[in-house]
Amino acid sequence: MSTNSTTPAAALDERRPKVVLGVAGGIAAYKAAELLRRFTESGHDVTVVPTAAALEFVGAPTWAALSGKEIATGVFENITEVPHVRIGQQADLVVVAPATANTLARAAHGLAEDLLSNVLLTARCPVVFAPAMHTEMWEHPATQANVATLRERGNIVIEPAEGRLTGKDTGKGRLPEPAEIFELARAVLAHGGRADLVGRRVVVSAGGTREYLDPVRYLGNRSSGLQGYAIARAAAARGAEVTLVAANVTLPDPAGLKVVRVGTTAELRDAVVSAAEGADAVVMAAAPADFRPTGVSEAKIKKAADGSAPTIELMQNPDILAEISHHRTKPGQVVVGFAAETGDETGSVIELATAKLKRKGCDLLVVNDVSGGAVFGSEVNKAVILGADGGHVDVAEGAKSALAEVIWDQISLRLDEQPAN
Ligand code: CTP
């Protein structure tokens, strides 16, 4: 008779990532139900640990039905299983969403008065807090000090989103969209919670700029912004404070980032230069239009009666990457460019990219071979990362999120030689 009592189903269950979803008592608790669904539907084993106050907003039956597990809030329930120790110890990831000012304070000070606070003390895995509260409470020095303490300990505390709060007021304090918290949590799980960018301020540009000819027509390009968004998201998941400068991107705002929306190359330049002031790293994943019309017609340009086509005179736009690279505003600032190359009669993809790396003066150049229109709008990417120090990293075809992690690994290596703020 076999002594191994593990059934195939139980073994499969063992391999599912174990996520603890902590829910604190805020109006945004209802959004955590959607976050829970996203985790369970993508194969995660989720234990929901609400606070007693959270159950005032969304009751235990909802959490139990969606997670398939009984719900406890106190340390004296199911006591024989020692849940206050076991749940935290066994978790691969803890996500607290929404995290109220009270829960952040209890976590920062190590209080252990209910099941969630005990889980937070026993967890040795990555912990993500997604705060949601009124702007005044978020901005209060006590909350900010607690957030700083939690971040110093390697926790990921994502910035709340701006927008409509409970009642009629608006401001910073909204829980980011559950889909975006989920993406960030997935990134944290994927890289094992390496919070190597805590204390770092980084800038990422994404999307393609548009140069208007008249109020309705523009010169643009095919950049979707997917790669830049993946890079920004990965940085936030590693603990960085991220400004994402997005040119004409229709994707939803990633959780926990400052998003600055721009249209033209001149606007992109101003936003990137301003955000890059004193930043630790700048990643230029955007595709700025290299040229713009010398003038923008205020009225829509009409077709000529004689059938002739108008001539559009163009002028060069500023080269943002070269400007940032040649005017560093912080010692050791790491600057990363992208190159979409096809290769031509003057050189191969790598030869042209190596020359571009030198010309632009950046530290790293992420090179995509775009012969045949590969990359644009696609979920996958394949690249070579060239270093100004002669480094050369091949990244096999994979998700844009995977390339984003390799880019941050390379940046992080270079930042490690510099002190954090
Ligand atoms: N870039 C920039 N400002 C511009 C054009 C490009 O900062 N006006 C940045 C892009 O964000 C990217 C890198 O430069 O990181 C490479 O862009 P690419 O268009 O390949 O470079 P170009 O200088 O336009 O080179 P080419 O002559 O090959 O078009």
Asked if residue 237 and residue 182 are part of one domain, the reply reads no
Please determine, for residue 340, whether its predicted confidence score (pLDDT) is greater than 80: yes
Over range 62-66, report the average pLDDT. Answer: 97
pLDDT, the chain, mean: 92
The CA 224 to ligand 1 mean position distance, Å, reads 16
Instruction: Tell me the sheet residues that pair with 218.
Output: 212
| Residue 356 assigned ligand-binding role | yes
User: Of 190, 222, 241, which one is at a domain's C-terminal end?
Assistant: 190
- Residue that the structure tokens 């309705």 belong to: 216
| Residue 93 assigned ligand-binding role | no
Phi then psi for residue 247, to 5 deg, are -100, 105
Ligand 1 pocket test, pick from 290, 358, 362, 385 with the greatest ligand atom count within 8 Å of Cβ, gives: 290
If residue 325 lies in a helix (H) or strand (E), which one and from where to where?
helix 320-326
Asked if residue 241 and residue 162 are part of one domain, the reply reads no
The total number of structural domains in the chain stands at 2
* Residue of the CA atom closest to atom 27 of ligand 1: 356
In a domain, 17, yes or no: yes
The CA 199 to ligand 1 mean position distance, Å, reads 29
Asked if residue 240 and residue 163 are part of one domain, the reply reads no
Residue, of 359 and 79, whose pLDDT is higher: 359
User: Of 168, 190, 212, which one is at a domain's C-terminal end?
Assistant: 190
Asked if residue 165 and residue 138 are part of one domain, the reply reads yes
Whole-number Å distance between alpha carbons of 44 and 16: 5
| Residue 290 assigned ligand-binding role | yes
In a domain, 196, yes or no: no
In a domain, 277, yes or no: yes
Over range 286-291, report the average pLDDT. Answer: 96
Please determine, for residue 377, whether its predicted confidence score (pLDDT) is greater than 90: no
Ligand 1 site, CB within 6 A: 265, 284, 286, 288, 290, 317, 319-321, 337-340
* Residue of the CA atom closest to atom 14 of ligand 1: 321
In a domain, 195, yes or no: no
The CA 377 to ligand 1 mean position distance, Å, reads 18
Asked if residue 326 and residue 281 are part of one domain, the reply reads yes
pLDDT of the residue at 321: 98
pLDDT of the residue at 363: 98
Asked if residue 230 and residue 81 are part of one domain, the reply reads no
Could you tell me the CATH number of the domain that includes residue 171? 3.40.50.1950
Taking the CA of residue 365 as reference, the ligand 1 atom at the shortest distance is: 15
* Residue of the CA atom closest to atom 21 of ligand 1: 339
pLDDT of the residue at 290: 94
Asked if residue 81 and residue 22 are part of one domain, the reply reads yes
Asked if residue 342 and residue 276 are part of one domain, the reply reads yes
In a domain, 59, yes or no: yes
In a domain, 241, yes or no: yes
List the domain range (segments joined by +) for residue 282: 201-298+307-415
pLDDT of the residue at 5: 53
Over range 205-215, report the average pLDDT. Answer: 97
Q: Which pTM was predicted?
A: 0.91
Residue, of 277 and 303, whose pLDDT is higher: 277
- The pLDDT-based confidence of 255 (bands split at 50, 70, 90) is very high
Taking the CA of residue 324 as reference, the ligand 1 atom at the shortest distance is: 7
Taking the CA of residue 352 as reference, the ligand 1 atom at the shortest distance is: 28
Please determine, for residue 376, whether its predicted confidence score (pLDDT) is greater than 80: no
In angstroms, what CA-CA distances link 84 with 8, 117, 210, 336?
28, 9, 55, 45
Could you tell me the CATH number of the domain that includes residue 218? 3.40.50.10300
User: Nearest-CA neighbor of 278 among 331, 205, 335, 337?
Assistant: 331
Percent over 70 (pLDDT), the chain: 94
SS3 75: coil
pLDDT of the residue at 2: 44
| Residue 79 assigned ligand-binding role | no
Asked if residue 210 and residue 122 are part of one domain, the reply reads no
Over range 19-46, report the average pLDDT. Answer: 97
| Residue 300 assigned ligand-binding role | yes
In a domain, 1, yes or no: no
The CA 364 to ligand 1 mean position distance, Å, reads 13
Asked if residue 52 and residue 72 are part of one domain, the reply reads yes
Whole-number Å distance between alpha carbons of 339 and 142: 45
What is the number of alpha carbons within 13 Å of residue 130 lying toward its C-beta? Answer: 32
Over range 282-288, report the average pLDDT. Answer: 97
pLDDT digits (tens, 9 = 90+) for 144-203: 999 999 999 999 999 999 988 887 888 999 999 999 999 999 999 988 878 899 999 999
* Residue of the CA atom closest to atom 24 of ligand 1: 290
Catalytic residue among 78, 146, 221, 421: 221
User: Of 164, 190, 216, which one is at a domain's C-terminal end?
Assistant: 190
Whole-number Å distance between alpha carbons of 319 and 265: 9
Ligand 1 pocket test, pick from 248, 327, 360 with the greatest ligand atom count within 8 Å of Cβ, gives: 360
| Residue 319 assigned ligand-binding role | yes
* Residue of the CA atom closest to atom 16 of ligand 1: 339
In a domain, 420, yes or no: no
| Residue 360 assigned ligand-binding role | yes
Asked if residue 240 and residue 114 are part of one domain, the reply reads no
Please determine, for residue 63, whether its predicted confidence score (pLDDT) is greater than 70: yes
The CA 218 to ligand 1 mean position distance, Å, reads 19
> What is the maximum alpha-carbon separation in the chain?
94
Ligand 1 pocket test, pick from 292, 327, 338 with the greatest ligand atom count within 8 Å of Cβ, gives: 338
Asked if residue 43 and residue 86 are part of one domain, the reply reads yes
Annotated active-site residue 221? The verdict is: yes
Please determine, for residue 1, whether its predicted confidence score (pLDDT) is greater than 50: no
pLDDT digits (tens, 9 = 90+) for 113-154: 999 999 999 999 999 999 999 999 999 999 999 999 999 999
> For residue 286, what are its two tokens?
């955007």
